[in-house]
Structure 1
Amino acid sequence: MNRSILLNCDMGESFGAWQMGDDSRVMPLIDQANLACGFHAGDPLTMQRTVALALQHGVQIGAHPAYPDLQGFGRRHLRCSAEEVEALLLYQLGALDAFCRAAGSQLAYVKPHGALYHDLLGDDRLLTAALSACARFRRGLPLMVLAQVDNARAQQLADAVGVPLLFEAFADRAYQPDGRLLPRSQASAVHAGEEQTIAQGLAIARGEPFADCNGQALQLTADSLCVHGDNPQALAVLRRLRALLDCT
């Protein structure tokens, strides 16, 4: 069984009567669950239930904090200061960790969501704020960030505060040549075909090159592979990826 790369999925993103994803069927297929903390999706009961579901299946629980943007699903870029980013991360980590601790567990890592996730890539002040939040919350709590062609700057900032990094790649998203994701504003940003998603996911898992948005070879080194829970193909893709990775 190959566990050299982990499978993760964004989950717990329902809110009230509005349902997102197929958490109950996806959870047994993944290693890490990135759980919404109430700012872009999720509510207290959803958080509690999804924590219990993850623990039932032995899945690591990661916090998936976001900008305070329920209407935009956390995908709108807000002009928050570094101080605000650190505070809103600590607030959300504390909320989710309360449910983890009540169930006899704790947060395993932190993966920022949406616009916040991408803003960390281009602003050292915001990345430092996120790293500081992890360090202050619990010593050794890892931060999950996008695996790029050059991860040296992120690693340097993380090493300075003693925060482990988990590098993540995406099976279902198109990439730019530098290893950043193609913006969702572009029509081809999310792979429409199941076969394309499977092929890209396997290439990343095996450390092999795959095609970027220009058709050129791109190779990334990642600790964890994500399939988005709001992708209509998520369940089918994860079933196949899990089977393929486990038999190689």
Structure 2
Amino acid sequence: MRMSHYYLALAILLAPALLTTAVLGALHNGDSQLHLEAGLVTAVLCLATNTLFILFMVVTGRVMKAAMRTRPLSPAFLAELNEFFATKRAFPMALFAALSVTATAVLGYGKRIGVPAPVHVVLGLGAVLLNLWTIPVAMRTLKENQGLLDRATRELDRLDRELGPVPEEATEIPWIVGARVRWVIFALTAWAPYLYWGLVVWKGDFSNLSHAFLIGSAILSGFGFLRAWRTEPTTQT
């Protein structure tokens, strides 16, 4: 199966979920438990759908660059891919579609954090429309991108037949940052859920949060800092 098939499967679930959540919010004025649960499922589904598309586009570029390092693949493929990113609007649309749903879900707690309910309504309608608009645009983009990958694959197969197999170590894609930096990022982001609930949901009153939440965040963060401390600065794996 191609990536467009996976994306289409998620999109088929996402479209009715968006509409159902919006209708439930309109019927119950956004106060029903059913609307809250539907909104949570829809938000997760929306993030999964758009993240799948974004990651595929990013990985495509990295794979193409790796192929050019190991084989004399024409730079025209990478140039076409760069032009593809520059001219296609699906990538930023998917990014904003995911962000809009996330913001809508957060502002669903408008009454608790002092945000007027109409803000949630307007943002929610905008998120629904943006996501429904993004789906067909992203599908067309995936099909066009797949065509580019197919041409590159055929060229790589031809080069493999002529030049022989590529050593496995030559195909490894290096990280932009080292392992120590990645572990530090992990350690810092471990506090994100705790800070979000304390600062946003409970408006700075951390006493409402469970001690287990604090301990769990501290353990994860400490684990990350410990791994960063024990990792060599030059390690890239």
| TM-score, scaled to structure 1 | 0.23
Greater strand fraction, Structure 1 or Structure 2: 1
Greater helix fraction, Structure 1 or Structure 2: 2
| TM-score, scaled to structure 2 | 0.24
